[in-house]
Structure 1
Amino acid sequence: MVKNIVTFGEVMLRLSTQTGVRLNQTDQFTAHYGGAEANVAVSLAHFGYSVYFVSKVPDNLLGNAVERHLKSHGVQTNYLLKGGERLGTYYLEAGAGERSAQVTYDRKYSSFSQLEAVEIDIEEILQTASLFHVTGITLALSPSLRELVFLILKKAKEMGVKTSFDFNYRAKLWSQQEFSEAIKPLLPYIDICFCGELDAVHLLGLNQADGFLPQKERLKYYYQKLKETYPNIQYVCSTFRTVISSTSNRLKGNLFVEDELYQSKVHTLEPIVDRVGGGDAFAAGILWGILEELPPEQIITFATAASALKHTVYGDCNVFSSKEVFQFANTEPGKIVR
């Protein structure tokens, strides 16, 4: 059976400085298009799925560029609406050494943030879908989008469509309290949840685990508590990231299913070419593994490898096939593939 996937969110224009140049110094930017849900759509399209991206962009040259970007990666744009005043933008000041990258948003009153429920036919969008994916970034953009996401998740469960939600909390968009109030009505309708240790404590308000427990046991404790409250959640996922510098990280993936926590090996990400979209590549890898009905050990291995690969290319999107991810996961790092 063909597995269609639907993702829902905003595409933005990303303008990045060169490494070593601050935002208030630069006189040139590198442009990319991306956004959390769109990045997941691109990854899954490269993995061979039929993926539909639902969004709204302005009816101008920038909106046309977004459509071309999505189509160039094999993403279906049947439900990409045109209208509104502007495309959301963000500026990325590249990090260097111990100095972190910095994001400056310019996305208020974007076409997508003004989207209303009456503009889309939820049943039509979900009628052939196997899975629906959205993130907390979309929730942050407007009250009407929060209501729309709730309606879509509820309808998806009525129609037997798997649902996936990535917390993706952004402190520059809203407060922890606002996020917490928005997410709790949605959790009963979510099957696959991307949520880390800090999310569990600060966004869900779970009691803190014993600080003397190993990191793996603490995470397992939080995931067990989450499952006790929301038994509908079948999978909970996250990554452990150790930051040595802006271009040197360590990454390990976590997947909690059927009361067991599975972990990937540690990937050494050095040098990092572009970190943006690494979490979306991980999410897409998890979703692919679940839809392919792989064993948990293979799912987390594949997903973390997909994220590691994303760090090696410029732009928001992961552009590797599932075959390439598997090959990377099973090849000695840095070895020439002949």
Structure 2
Amino acid sequence: MKVVTFGELMLRLAPNGYYRFFQDDQLQATFGGGEANVAVSLANYGMDASFVTKLPTHAIGQAAVNSLRKYGVDTSKIVRGGDRVGIYFLEKGASQRGSVCIYDRAHSAIQEAAPSDFDWDAIFEGVDWFHFTGITPALGENLVEICREACKAAKAHGVKISCDLNYRGKLWTRDQARAAMTDLCQYVDVCISNEEDAKDVFGIEAENTDIYGGKLNKEGYKSVAKQLADKFGFEKVAITLRTSISASDNDWAAMLYDGENYCFSKEYHLHIVDRVGGGDSFGGGLIYALLSGKNTQDAVEFAVAASALKHSIEGDYNLVTVSEVEKLAGGDGSGRVQR
């Protein structure tokens, strides 16, 4: 099975451990980005995963490409050009102090890309699945158009499309998001959302839920999923359910609706090492599970287990195997030493 993902790959600069910005005079440099994170997950699961973006030809751009090649992601469709790699600064939170993310991505190569940069008919030759997120069209009207052309070409090639709504208030307004995503979601087969995204983008919310007070009414998400599916004709809607006890401890689960069944996963109590990329690891797990022919319940269990493991791993990328995910999904979450 061949999967293509499209978006921005950024340089991540973060203080060591749980230091605040410049409390220490060093920053750890890694790479990450929503759709790239999904591609790495899929490559680690043994799938043919290709990531599409635009990156400069200089040394930092090449380092970004190499960070994907390291894990077996196909980078041959990445367009080279532009002047800069987008950056985000991450300060990891702990206990009652939340994490902080500061973007420095204006005028990045992908943000200034043109629709003519990408030959989508060639990119989608022999492809089974296409994934993007709401972060990418949020980068500008040109990216909305590029995403639209990608979706149209994917449909013409019979490719399944998934989208993680991933609303980012620092990138665009709710009205801008609603206009763009209403257009793009007409092409989407599998929608991934969380307790905030559906409300922020489409004004759809679960009743009796307080995302900041740690109160989630799981039954209310059945209504959210059905409203999303009815509005856009999605084949499946996945909703991740995060109860944030603190920055260090979350409860994590999800629901997958297939038009008939509402399947809730088991819930995991997470003691978090790094939560960035947690949603992307869910998306990667879900795509793998669905392409592997898992039923609705097994698919959501695999995706949630994959994401639970990601919260224990430093960096954006989820560096786990299928067997590790299936072991946790099967009930072994003891964390005992493997000998």
TM-score norm. by structure 1 comes to: 0.95
Matched, 1:35 2:33: yes
Q: Which moved more, 1:216-225 or 1:142-151?
A: 216-225
Task: Note if contact 2:225-2:239 (Cα within 8 Å) is conserved in structure 1.
Answer: no
For 2:176, the aligned partner's letter is E
The answer for the alignment partner of 1:194 in structure 2 is: 192
For 1:246, the aligned partner's letter is A
For 1:37, the aligned partner's letter is E
Task: Note if contact 2:11-2:87 (Cα within 8 Å) is conserved in structure 1.
Answer: yes
Number of aligned positions between the proteins: 333
1:5-58 deviation digits (Å, cap 9, x = unpaired): 100011000011134422153311111101000000000001111111111111
Give the Å deviation of 1:117. 1.0
Instruction: Give the gaps of 5 or more residues in structure 2.
Output: 210-214
Matched, 1:304 2:304: yes
Residues in 2 aligned to 1:214 and 1:4: alpha-carbon distance in whole angstroms: 36
For 2:42, the aligned partner's letter is L
The answer for the alignment partner of 1:147 in structure 2 is: 145
Task: Note if contact 2:92-2:274 (Cα within 8 Å) is conserved in structure 1.
Answer: no
Residues in 1 aligned to 2:144 and 2:131: alpha-carbon distance in whole angstroms: 14
Give the Å deviation of 1:239. 1.3
Residues in 2 aligned to 1:45 and 1:183: alpha-carbon distance in whole angstroms: 28
The answer for the alignment partner of 2:323 in structure 1 is: 323
* Alignment counterpart, residue 94 of structure 1, candidates 83, 92, 95: 92
Residues in 2 aligned to 1:4 and 1:160: alpha-carbon distance in whole angstroms: 13
For 1:306, the aligned partner's letter is A
Residues in 2 aligned to 1:210 and 1:52: alpha-carbon distance in whole angstroms: 39
For 1:11, the aligned partner's letter is L
Residues in 1 aligned to 2:206 and 2:259: alpha-carbon distance in whole angstroms: 20
SS for the counterpart of 2:111 is helix
1:124–1:278: structure 2 CA closer, same or farther, 3 Å change rule?
Answer: same
For 2:150, the aligned partner's letter is I
Instruction: Give the gaps of 5 or more residues in structure 1.
Output: none
Identity %: 39
Task: Note if contact 1:46-1:74 (Cα within 8 Å) is conserved in structure 2.
Answer: yes
SS for the counterpart of 1:178 is helix
Q: How much is the aligned-residue C-alpha RMSD, in angstroms?
A: 1.6
For 1:245, the aligned partner's letter is S
1:259-293 deviation digits (Å, cap 9, x = unpaired): 321111111111x1111111100001111111011
The answer for the alignment partner of 1:211 in structure 2 is: 208
Task: Note if contact 1:97-1:246 (Cα within 8 Å) is conserved in structure 2.
Answer: yes
1:300–1:100: structure 2 CA closer, same or farther, 3 Å change rule?
Answer: same
Give the Å deviation of 1:243. 1.4
Matched ranges for 1:49-198 at <5 A: 49-198=47-196
1:238–1:210: structure 2 CA closer, same or farther, 3 Å change rule?
Answer: closer
Residues in 2 aligned to 1:210 and 1:286: alpha-carbon distance in whole angstroms: 26
Give the Å deviation of 1:254. 1.2
Residues in 2 aligned to 1:24 and 1:210: alpha-carbon distance in whole angstroms: 42
Give the Å deviation of 1:332. 3.8
1:54–1:86: structure 2 CA closer, same or farther, 3 Å change rule?
Answer: same
Residues in 2 aligned to 1:18 and 1:29: alpha-carbon distance in whole angstroms: 6
SS for the counterpart of 2:50 is strand
SS for the counterpart of 2:101 is strand
Give the Å deviation of 1:142. 1.4
Task: Note if contact 1:197-1:222 (Cα within 8 Å) is conserved in structure 2.
Answer: no
Residues in 1 aligned to 2:290 and 2:206: alpha-carbon distance in whole angstroms: 29
Give the Å deviation of 1:236. 0.6
SS for the counterpart of 2:135 is helix
SS for the counterpart of 2:21 is coil
For 2:266, the aligned partner's letter is K
Residues in 1 aligned to 2:9 and 2:116: alpha-carbon distance in whole angstroms: 20
For 1:117, the aligned partner's letter is P
SS for the counterpart of 1:14 is strand
Residues in 2 aligned to 1:220 and 1:201: alpha-carbon distance in whole angstroms: 14
Q: Which moved more, 1:284-293 or 1:214-223?
A: 214-223
Task: Note if contact 1:37-1:135 (Cα within 8 Å) is conserved in structure 2.
Answer: yes
The answer for the alignment partner of 1:282 in structure 2 is: 282
Residues in 2 aligned to 1:31 and 1:194: alpha-carbon distance in whole angstroms: 29
For 2:249, the aligned partner's letter is S
Residues in 2 aligned to 1:86 and 1:275: alpha-carbon distance in whole angstroms: 26
Residues in 1 aligned to 2:219 and 2:156: alpha-carbon distance in whole angstroms: 35
Residues in 1 aligned to 2:310 and 2:104: alpha-carbon distance in whole angstroms: 25
For 1:320, the aligned partner's letter is V
For 2:168, the aligned partner's letter is R
Task: Note if contact 1:18-1:94 (Cα within 8 Å) is conserved in structure 2.
Answer: no
The answer for the alignment partner of 1:223 in structure 2 is: 225
Give the Å deviation of 1:138. 0.4
For 1:101, the aligned partner's letter is S
Give the Å deviation of 1:210. 4.6
Residues in 1 aligned to 2:59 and 2:206: alpha-carbon distance in whole angstroms: 51
The answer for the alignment partner of 2:212 in structure 1 is: none
The answer for the alignment partner of 1:293 in structure 2 is: 293
TM-score norm. by structure 2 comes to: 0.94
1:273–1:196: structure 2 CA closer, same or farther, 3 Å change rule?
Answer: closer
